[in-house]
Structure 1
Amino acid sequence: MRCPFCGNGDTQVKDSRPTEDSAAIRRRRFCPACNSRFTTFERVQLRDLVIVKKDGQRSAFDRDKLARSIRIACRKRPVDEDSIERIVNGIQRRLESSGDTEINSKAVGELVMEGLRGLDPVAYVRFASVYRNFREAKDFEDFVETLGGSAD
């Protein structure tokens, strides 16, 4: 593994253990050239996934982009990083085990909403507002009413 700080190709693994949900291996590494430490994660990738967007454009599934969008929805909410990782791992696992290599972006969005709904209602509404393209306050009111809450 190449050191992200100095580019040295000879780094050492100092510690290796499974993540909390056992979906990945976390490795602490050390670079003897610059004395830096960094962490890598090793995950099983069952197949290469391609996301098909609304306009038909195709792009490779980006796990980091998925995690980033969930983090944005959860910003300033009492949601820990492990919960976000569990949602991302679950979504990725479901997509990979679906049998399809091309996944509609709408399906990914629905899986994110499903995960956020059980995690944090505010993050759920935040994500929905972008995903469903809310344009005015009435859109929020209508959506919140579907949750069983009151907009008043």
Structure 2
Amino acid sequence: MKCPFCQHEDTQVLDTRVSEEGDSIRRRRRCVHCDKRFTTYERIELAMPVIVKKNGSRTEFDPTKLRASFMLALRKRPVSAEAIDAAIHRIEEKLRSSGEREVMSGRIGELVMHELKRMDKIAYIRFASVYKSFEDVTEFQDAIAEVGQERKPAGK
């Protein structure tokens, strides 16, 4: 494994752990040349479905775009990188396990909104406002009311 810092090809594995789900292996590594440490993940690689955009064009699934959406919505919010990684992993698993060869981009947007709603309500509102193209204040108020309703205990 090449070191991402100095590109040296000799790295040492310091620690290996199986993920909680049991579907990946996390390895802490150290470069023997520059002594920097980094983490790698070993996963089974399964084909992701092709994404069909609103205009009908097709594109490969790109997890960096998914991460960018999360990072933008979660900007300056108290959500850990591990929580973001876990949400992205859950979305990828749902897409893989769907068995579909093609998935509409809107489905991915819905999955992102679902994860954001669980992680951070403010980030959810931010994402939903762009994703659903809110055009006036009442749409924001409706989304905020929807999130607020979920927090109230039953019977009140």
Following the alignment from structure 2 to structure 1, what is the Cα–Cα distance between the partners of residues 102 and 134? 27
* 1:14-29 aligned within 5 A: 14-29=14-29
Question: Relative to structure 2, which stretch is displaced further, 100-109 or 18-27?
Answer: 18-27
Q: Could you say what secondary structure the match of 1:41 adopts?
A: strand
> Cα offset for 1:78?
2.9
Q: Could you say what secondary structure the match of 2:54 adopts?
A: coil
The aligned residue for residue 154 of structure 2 is none
Q: Which amino acid aligns with 2:114?
A: E
Q: Could you say what secondary structure the match of 2:89 adopts?
A: helix
| 2:76 aligned with 1:71 | no
**Judging changes above 3 Å, is the alpha-carbon distance between structure 1 residues 9 and 56 closer, same or farther for their aligned structure 2 residues?**
farther
Q: Which amino acid aligns with 2:64?
A: D
**Judging changes above 3 Å, is the alpha-carbon distance between structure 1 residues 15 and 106 closer, same or farther for their aligned structure 2 residues?**
same
* Structure 2 stretches lacking a partner, 5+ long: 150-156
Summarize deviations over 1:1-23 as a string: whole Å, max 9, x none. Answer: 12212222232222111235444
TM-score (norm 2): 0.80
Q: Could you say what secondary structure the match of 1:140 adopts?
A: helix
Q: Could you say what secondary structure the match of 1:33 adopts?
A: coil
Following TM superposition, where does structure 1 have runs of at least 4 consecutive aligned residues deviating by more than 3 angstroms? 19-23, 145-149
TM-score (norm 1): 0.82
The aligned residue for residue 62 of structure 1 is 62
Q: Which amino acid aligns with 1:126?
A: R
* Structure 1 stretches lacking a partner, 5+ long: none
Summarize deviations over 1:21-77 as a string: whole Å, max 9, x none. Answer: 444322112222332222112222322332111122222212232123123212222
